Amino acid sequence: MPKKNSANNYLTCPRLKGQPKKHIAVCHRCRFRKKCAPYRNHCQAELPFTFSSDGANSSKSAPPEEPEPKTPALLPKKEATEELVKEIESELKALQKLCR
């Protein structure tokens, strides 16, 4: 049986000024208990793994794998960029001639 004044029986209240530590019984009677993250974590601790839609379990300690991009790279190829730069420069020269 846990001690009455054990540190496990108190939670930090994010709703009150100064975030005081409150006893779990006080949290249980609080009107914000469904929205309070510390109280929810105390009542139902986080599991060390997650369930995925394909039925495989993955550990939270392992870094998530980055999926392969399904779309081609968004940046144009170097040749296309050089062609665009030449096109823009020629249009700029034409506009400068018109302004003179």
At 58 the pLDDT is 59
| Residue, of 8 and 57, whose pLDDT is higher | 8
pTM: 0.39
Measured between alpha carbons, how far is 79 from 76 in angstroms, rounded to an integer?
A: 8
Q: How confident is the model at residue 9 (pLDDT cuts 50, 70, 90)?
A: confident
**CA separation for the pair 99, 18 (Å, rounded):** 67
- Farthest-apart Cα atoms in the chain, separation: 92
pLDDT in tens, 40-68: 888 887 766 666 666 565 565 556 666 66
CA dist 49 and 62 (Å) reads 10
pLDDT digits (tens, 9 = 90+) for 25-41: 888 888 887 888 888 88
